[in-house]
Structure 1
Amino acid sequence: MNNLRILDLLIIGLYLVAMIGVGVYFSRKNRNPEQYSSASGQIPGWAIGLSIYATFLSSNTFLGVPGKAFGTNWNALVFSISMPLAAWVAARYFVPFYRATGEISAYTHLEKRFGSWARTYAVVCFLLTQLARIGSIFFGIALTLQALTGFSMEMIMLITGISIIIYTVLGGIEAVIWTEVVQGIIKTAGALLILYLVVSNLPGGLAKVVAIGQHDHKFSLGGFAPDFTQSTFWVVLLYGFFINLNNFGVDQNYVQRYHTATSAQQAAKSIWLCVQVYLPASLLFFVIGSALYAYYQVHPELIEAVKLKVAAERLPLSASAAQLAQAAAQLQPADYGDKVMPHFIVTKVPPGFVGLLVSAILSAAMSTISSGMNASATVFVADIYQRYMKPDLDGRQMMRVLHLGTVVVGLLGMGTGIAMIGVKSVLDVWWELSGIFAAGMLGLFLLAVVSRQTRNHEALAATMIGVLVILWMTFSPNLPASLAMLRNPLHKSMIIVVGTLTIFLLGLLFTRLRRQRRARAVAPLSTELKSA
């Protein structure tokens, strides 16, 4: 434990024990599946809103956003700007719909509309999305704690993963929500502390941050030209709207929380509270990234250690010192942005405060991972185990399967995080994977809710074509130069936009064509009847 002092270790240990204690406390209430998965609908709207906020404010935000702002600019902030419109759609249409159905799973309705294939497809997309999310968060937290402890990233993921599994399995959704309320406060306080420490150690303070940021164009939101091949303002805005609509409207993590509210009105209010808190918090993390950039511009000698560490991770152990120095010199800020905050915490944060910041980073990871584990276990039981394996589960059997599902998802998430070791930007990886998996799910769900006339075969045909489009957009950039004309020309963030619209619009088109054919077939018969 070469970088953590006794005081820091005590603070981190107390935090982990407290979180497990919350799980033990709420375990006394979890006597039935309804309490475990929906808290029997007794959670106040403000607590749900803060828990959703904490889920959004994962370690991908805590570490990835400052890293992104350090390495590039504020283009990713446009993702947050898109949230209010997606929240309005979800609060206006999706929340009343889910509360009216009474189904704990967001995907049961798809089977009623289109058949079992639609439900199964959405569940698979959701579970893959959760593995990508949980894995990227495990990776993000291990990235930081490795610099602080000297432990391997694999060992860190294992230790933190076991702690999260214990309190999630014991406490159920109620423990998840109330710990997320606390974790949301801890994360925000931790972010404010980091910003204060960076600015207070920077000659010139915030004015220097602004001056350097303006000089190096660090505050740009992206180009405003209608170019969808680059990460422009419009590309991120569209991506953000569709992802946030998927989060608020389709993702089981959020839908499950709507059922824990005392009423539909409280559930809708929770969405708006999340938006109101997340928007300024998101801006705060971009300011931190710009402040770190300014700090290391003023102290360029300090960034060399970061660059050497990144270069060493990418080169074989047999690389010489000259090769290491050459590789480090070629690195750009975007290559090591995610490493900067951990380095600052290790080298510049005083004892005691390090423990608080590590606890904040842990809370950022634990809140999102625990909610993803609980939601994934609920979906597994409701949409897979009961649907295809054993529909007549009693309460005790269902609780056992829920617990087992939670453990399995946690372990698979850890494995996904280990597989991500070595990626350049955790935020980029998460955005790309979530866009791929969420596109088909969101398009199919919109078709089910909006078009009451669309039938099973029309939805299936639209989904199959949409999946082919998503696969082409995802993998065609890897085609050889001889097939360059077949490559996807759009930015990868457009995958969810194009994939969703393909399924939705094709479903509407096939429905209209069927109705037109039916109308033409009926027209001659009507004429004959009238003449008779």
Structure 2
Amino acid sequence: MQLLDWIVLSFTLIFIVVYGVIKTRGSKNVEEYILGNNQTPWWTVGLSVMATQASAITFLSTPGQAYHDGLGFVQFYFGLPLAMLVICITFIPIYHRLKVFTAYEFLEQRFDVKTRTLASLLFMVQRGLGTGFTILAPAIILSSLLGWNLTLMNVIIGIMVIIYTVSGGTRAVNVTHTQQTFVIFAGLIITFFIILYALPEELSFDNALHIAGANDKLNALDFSFDPEKRYTIWSGLAGGFFLALAYFGTDQSQVQRYLSGKSIRESQMGLIMNALLKIPMQFFILLIGVMVFVFFQFHEAPLHFNPNNTKIVANSQYKRDYQQLENELKTVEQEKEEISMLYVNQLYQDYDNKELHNRMVALNNQEKDLREQARELITTVDAKAEVNDKDYVFLYFILHYLPRGMIGLLLAVIISAAMSSSASGLNALASTTAIDLYRRNIKGEKSEKHYVNATRLFTLLWGAVAILFACVGTMFENLIQLVNIIGSIFYGTVLGIFLAAFYLKYIGARAIFWSALVSQATVIYIWYIDIVSFLWLNIIGAVLTVLLAFLIQLFNKKPPLQTELPENITA
């Protein structure tokens, strides 16, 4: 990194933190601190919802995912627009009319305090873990880049988020999300055009797509019914729908974003904005990863993208074996560049030479085999090393091929995304702790200022917990999958509770409480034995919770504690 990169990176991050503190300090009551006095316009709601979901993990892992596996990951988001419609029709009107601070307040009015507390605790567990990993992702980048201690980077990033979140609460989160979203989109769009500009002059965008397609990187749809396949159109529509419904409808980190809207309509418009933009945004980020793959058809790439693992092998007895693999890769890359260019030239003649096509694919398969051998060597040296290097692909490209200034901007993009998602998580965790646990159970009358200070304290405590999770977190497959796996383990059960609350008046408190406990234990066991893709855990958890509650209620002779929604509130 050059001086210009440091200036761009430092100025961007410091501006966001200082701006957030100055614009939003001095909350006088709980409604202002947690709900922003319900003054958030629809476009800010939409941007805040997008920024909350689009963590650093999105921009760190998604391009690497596409580099290795192509566009198939976009199917994960196919159920999201449908979920947005359901939330707009059912969830938002009820939350706003009840004037709740958290989604879980509603559950006590519909069921009882035990159910409210259980849902709150499940949220805290998964969101606490998830927030830790949103801090970990950019910390990995900077520690690899600068050679700094990973724990130190976790602490620095966590403290930056805590500063403005403690100061301004929800208003600070919403205001900074607007700035962060601008930085994110600007950085990604500029990077995309830089990649296109860096490709050989003879290579048009259309022919770049031909190269990607020849190597199976453009297969965005998989209609397979195999439940073990992670991303298919069916798992995206069904599992993605349930995951999105649970995340946007019951996760306080998202619910709090649209609870702060000026009105029901403003909140609904914010979610519709997200429904329209989310899939195109994710497709664009994946396309950047595909273009990085095409870029490396004509430029050198390392045998292994994780520099920490490379150092491990370089200091071991297998150093020469690894160097031999590197030499073989250079030979493959030289021929691959030559063959790829020949393939491009014949495309201009509207002719697809099968021999060149097959040779290009064979060379890429040979490259994959060499990388697999490198991973085996790394594992031999250190059995505990995480050899999946998808998360480092985009990082390597940024550091080695972007011009001065752009490196700082792209790192600012990734860290801004981490801050936006982490801030939403801390804000929601603190609000849930303060409202659903502390205020609900504390005895005696307390002032508004007392609860504002308590929420600030809980923000600080959850920030410390998130930093701790980040410090003990390890790489698992790739980070974006890890976060979604954690969510899928818990979201289904919580969603089942809310579906029963909204739509099944017959089910009472006792039935839903015990069904949720059994369902959650079952989902954890199913995940542990690994018999289905994690996306299906959302459906299993939700359906099992509702089904068991129905059966328990059927055989329970006692009437439900409360079988109807509050007066004048209908689903």
TM-score, scaled to structure 2: 0.83
Measured in 1, the distance between the counterparts of 2:519 and 2:401 equals 50
SS of equivalent to 1:30: coil
Measured in 1, the distance between the counterparts of 2:311 and 2:539 equals 38
Measured in 1, the distance between the counterparts of 2:67 and 2:7 equals 31
1:176 partner letter:
V
- Whether the aligned pair in 1 keeps the contact of 2:95 and 2:106 (CA below 8 Å) is no
Measured in 2, the distance between the counterparts of 1:199 and 1:147 equals 27
1:119-158 C-alpha deviation (Å, 9 max, x unpaired)? 1111111112212221221122122223432223222221
Measured in 2, the distance between the counterparts of 1:351 and 1:298 equals 21
Q: Counterpart in 2 of 1:227?
A: 226
SS of equivalent to 1:454: coil
Higher mean displacement: 243-252 or 501-510: 501-510
Q: Counterpart in 2 of 1:101?
A: 98
Measured in 2, the distance between the counterparts of 1:309 and 1:199 equals 29
Q: Counterpart in 1 of 2:319?
A: 321
Cα shift at 1:259: 2.4
- Whether the aligned pair in 1 keeps the contact of 2:24 and 2:171 (CA below 8 Å) is no
- Whether the aligned pair in 1 keeps the contact of 2:73 and 2:220 (CA below 8 Å) is yes
Measured in 1, the distance between the counterparts of 2:223 and 2:291 equals 25
Q: Counterpart in 2 of 1:243?
A: 243
Measured in 1, the distance between the counterparts of 2:517 and 2:505 equals 20
- Whether the aligned pair in 2 keeps the contact of 1:168 and 1:175 (CA below 8 Å) is yes
Measured in 2, the distance between the counterparts of 1:331 and 1:424 equals 17
1:492 partner letter:
F
Higher mean displacement: 423-432 or 261-270: 423-432
SS of equivalent to 2:228: coil
Aligned pairs, number: 501
Q: Counterpart in 2 of 1:196?
A: 193
- Whether the aligned pair in 2 keeps the contact of 1:252 and 1:375 (CA below 8 Å) is yes
Q: Indicate which of 549, 554, 563 corresponds to 1:507.
A: 549
Q: Counterpart in 1 of 2:291?
A: 291
**Identical aligned residues as a percent:** 26
Q: Counterpart in 1 of 2:107?
A: 110
- Whether the aligned pair in 2 keeps the contact of 1:26 and 1:172 (CA below 8 Å) is no
Cα shift at 1:271: 0.3
- Whether the aligned pair in 1 keeps the contact of 2:77 and 2:236 (CA below 8 Å) is no
Q: Counterpart in 2 of 1:45?
A: 42
Measured in 2, the distance between the counterparts of 1:191 and 1:405 equals 34
Taking a change above 3 Å as real, the CA distance of residues 512 and 221 of structure 1, as seen in their structure-2 partners, is: farther
Taking a change above 3 Å as real, the CA distance of residues 310 and 276 of structure 1, as seen in their structure-2 partners, is: farther
Q: Counterpart in 1 of 2:77?
A: 80
Tell me, yes or no, if structure 1 residue 125 matches structure 2 residue 122. yes
- Whether the aligned pair in 2 keeps the contact of 1:443 and 1:501 (CA below 8 Å) is yes
Unaligned residue ranges in structure 1 (runs of 5+): 478-488, 519-532
Unaligned residue ranges in structure 2 (runs of 5+): 326-369, 377-386, 560-571
Alignment of 1:9-20 (within 5 A): 9-20=6-17
Measured in 2, the distance between the counterparts of 1:459 and 1:105 equals 19
Higher mean displacement: 467-476 or 182-191: 467-476
Q: Counterpart in 1 of 2:330?
A: none
Higher mean displacement: 257-266 or 301-310: 301-310
Taking a change above 3 Å as real, the CA distance of residues 307 and 41 of structure 1, as seen in their structure-2 partners, is: closer
- Whether the aligned pair in 1 keeps the contact of 2:96 and 2:259 (CA below 8 Å) is yes
- Whether the aligned pair in 2 keeps the contact of 1:308 and 1:328 (CA below 8 Å) is no
Tell me, yes or no, if structure 1 residue 437 matches structure 2 residue 482. no
- Whether the aligned pair in 2 keeps the contact of 1:143 and 1:153 (CA below 8 Å) is yes
Q: Counterpart in 1 of 2:256?
A: 256
Measured in 2, the distance between the counterparts of 1:369 and 1:307 equals 25
Q: Counterpart in 1 of 2:184?
A: 187
Tell me, yes or no, if structure 1 residue 393 matches structure 2 residue 391. no
Taking a change above 3 Å as real, the CA distance of residues 201 and 323 of structure 1, as seen in their structure-2 partners, is: same
1:11-35 C-alpha deviation (Å, 9 max, x unpaired)? 2221222122223213444122211
1:389-409 C-alpha deviation (Å, 9 max, x unpaired)? 456332222122111111111
Q: Indicate which of 487, 500, 507 corresponds to 1:447.
A: 500
Measured in 1, the distance between the counterparts of 2:179 and 2:461 equals 26
Tell me, yes or no, if structure 1 residue 330 matches structure 2 residue 373. yes
Measured in 2, the distance between the counterparts of 1:390 and 1:294 equals 63
Measured in 2, the distance between the counterparts of 1:390 and 1:70 equals 56
Q: Counterpart in 2 of 1:143?
A: 140
Q: Indicate which of 433, 445, 466 corresponds to 1:413.
A: 466
Taking a change above 3 Å as real, the CA distance of residues 159 and 351 of structure 1, as seen in their structure-2 partners, is: same
Taking a change above 3 Å as real, the CA distance of residues 103 and 390 of structure 1, as seen in their structure-2 partners, is: same
- Whether the aligned pair in 2 keeps the contact of 1:62 and 1:361 (CA below 8 Å) is yes
Measured in 2, the distance between the counterparts of 1:48 and 1:89 equals 17
- Whether the aligned pair in 1 keeps the contact of 2:212 and 2:290 (CA below 8 Å) is yes
1:14-72 C-alpha deviation (Å, 9 max, x unpaired)? 12221222232134441222111111111111111111111122112111211111121
1:144-193 C-alpha deviation (Å, 9 max, x unpaired)? 22343222322222111111110111121111101101211210111112
Q: Counterpart in 2 of 1:381?
A: 434
1:246 partner letter:
A
Taking a change above 3 Å as real, the CA distance of residues 157 and 332 of structure 1, as seen in their structure-2 partners, is: same
SS of equivalent to 1:74: helix
Q: Counterpart in 1 of 2:303?
A: 304
- Whether the aligned pair in 1 keeps the contact of 2:161 and 2:422 (CA below 8 Å) is yes
Cα shift at 1:309: 4.4
Cα shift at 1:317: 5.9
Measured in 2, the distance between the counterparts of 1:455 and 1:422 equals 41
Q: Counterpart in 2 of 1:278?
A: 278
1:396 partner letter:
K
1:504 partner letter:
V
- Whether the aligned pair in 2 keeps the contact of 1:439 and 1:500 (CA below 8 Å) is yes
Measured in 2, the distance between the counterparts of 1:319 and 1:395 equals 65
Cα shift at 1:476: 2.3
Cα shift at 1:320: 4.0
Measured in 2, the distance between the counterparts of 1:44 and 1:308 equals 44
Cα shift at 1:344: 0.9
Q: Counterpart in 1 of 2:266?
A: 266
Taking a change above 3 Å as real, the CA distance of residues 316 and 268 of structure 1, as seen in their structure-2 partners, is: same
Alignment of 1:488-499 (within 5 A): 489-499=531-541
Taking a change above 3 Å as real, the CA distance of residues 418 and 352 of structure 1, as seen in their structure-2 partners, is: same
Taking a change above 3 Å as real, the CA distance of residues 389 and 162 of structure 1, as seen in their structure-2 partners, is: same
Tell me, yes or no, if structure 1 residue 366 matches structure 2 residue 419. yes
Q: Counterpart in 2 of 1:207?
A: 206
CA RMSD of aligned residues (A): 2.4
- Whether the aligned pair in 1 keeps the contact of 2:228 and 2:532 (CA below 8 Å) is yes
- Whether the aligned pair in 2 keeps the contact of 1:310 and 1:328 (CA below 8 Å) is no
- Whether the aligned pair in 1 keeps the contact of 2:21 and 2:168 (CA below 8 Å) is yes
Taking a change above 3 Å as real, the CA distance of residues 457 and 317 of structure 1, as seen in their structure-2 partners, is: farther
1:329-379 C-alpha deviation (Å, 9 max, x unpaired)? 525799222101111111111111112111111111111111111111000
Cα shift at 1:460: 2.5
